[in-house]
Amino acid sequence: MCAPQCQRNGVSFDSSRSLLSYSNIIHEAAMSVLDTLLNRNSHARLIEPGPDAEAVAKILHAALRAPDHGRLRPWRYVVIQGGRRRALGDCFVDSLKLRGVSDSAKLDKAANAPMRAPLIIAGLLHAVEHDTISRDEQAHAVAASLAAAQIAAESLGFGCIWRTGGYATDPLVVETLGGAAGDQVVGFLYLGTREGPSKLLPEESLDAFVSHF
C-alpha cells in the first residue's frame, strides 16, 4: 500500500517521513535561497547557452510573485532571442539617429548591444489608472519583479546583468517591443552563461546604510 501523501503548492509530502526529515529539507532549501541572494553579482560577459523555454518560464513565474500593491499587475515582459536581437539592435540604431546621433562607432555599438547575451527579457511598466496607487509605485513593482527574475536566473545557474539607458523611455523602442503609449522599459535583463570569473564584490558594513528608528 502506498504511503499517504499530501500536496501543497505542487509539492508532494510523504506522511511516512519524519517531521525532522522535512525540516532538514526545508532548511536546506532556505539556505540555498539565502546563498543566492547573498552572492548575487551582475555579470556582463554572457555567452551561449542561454536559458531554454522551461528555464525562462520559471524565471518569469518568479517575476510574477513580486510585491504588487492592489494586484494591478503593471508589468509586461518581452523575451528577445535569436535573430530578434538583431532587430532590437536596429531599433536602437534608429533611436539614436532620431536623437541626432551620427557617429558610426556609437551606431555600431548600439546595433551590437543586444548581441551581448543569448537572451534578453525586457520588463515594461504598463501603468494602470488608480486613485491611490501611483505610477511611481507601480514602477517599483516592476523593478521588484525584475529583481525576482534576476535572482531566479542566478538560482538556475545563469549569469545576468540589468541594463537600462536612454532606450528605456524612447517611444520608438517601447512601440517596437509591443508596448502601449505611456509604457516604458524599467529594465533589460541580459541572460546567459557566464564567461570568465565574476568580479569580486567587497563585504559591506551595514553601519553605512542602516539606522534604527
Q: Tens of pLDDT along 128-160?
A: 999 999 999 999 999 999 999 999 999 999 999
Cα 81 to Cα 132: distance, rounded to the nearest angstrom: 37
Residue that has been written with the C-alpha cell 535569436 in this structure:
82
How many domains are there within the chain?
2
Q: What is the pLDDT of residue 65?
A: 98
Judge if 173 and 132 occupy the same domain. Answer: yes
Enclosing domain of residue 19: 5-34
Judge if 74 and 159 occupy the same domain. Answer: yes
Residue 27: inside a domain = yes
Which CATH number is 160's domain given? 3.40.109.10
Judge if 187 and 111 occupy the same domain. Answer: yes
Q: What is the mean pLDDT of residues 113-136?
A: 98
Q: What is the pLDDT of residue 190?
A: 98
Q: List b or e across 73-90, with b for residues whose CB sees 16 or more CB atoms inside 10 angstroms.
A: ebbbbbbbbeeebeebbe
Task: Output the DSSP codes for 61-88.
Answer: HHHTTS--GGG---EEEEEEETTHHHHH
Query: Tens digits of per-residue pLDDT, 21-80?
Result: 656 666 566 568 888 899 899 999 999 999 999 999 999 999 999 999 999 999 999 999
Judge if 30 and 65 occupy the same domain. Answer: no
Judge if 50 and 151 occupy the same domain. Answer: yes
Q: Name the helix (H) or strand (E) containing 135.
A: helix 135-155
pLDDT at 115 over 50: yes
Backbone angles phi, psi at 76, to 5 degrees: -135, 140
Query: Could you tell me how many helices (H) and strands (E) the chain has, helices first?
Result: 6, 7
Judge if 177 and 155 occupy the same domain. Answer: yes
Residue that has been written with the C-alpha cell 536623437 in this structure:
99
pLDDT at 1 over 60: no
Judge if 159 and 112 occupy the same domain. Answer: yes
Mean pLDDT of the chain: 90
Per the rule left: phi > 0, alpha: psi between -120 and 50, beta: everything else, 196 is left
Q: pLDDT higher for 80 or 19?
A: 80
The reported pTM is 0.85
User: What three-state secondary structure class fits 144?
Assistant: helix
User: What three-state secondary structure class fits 6?
Assistant: strand
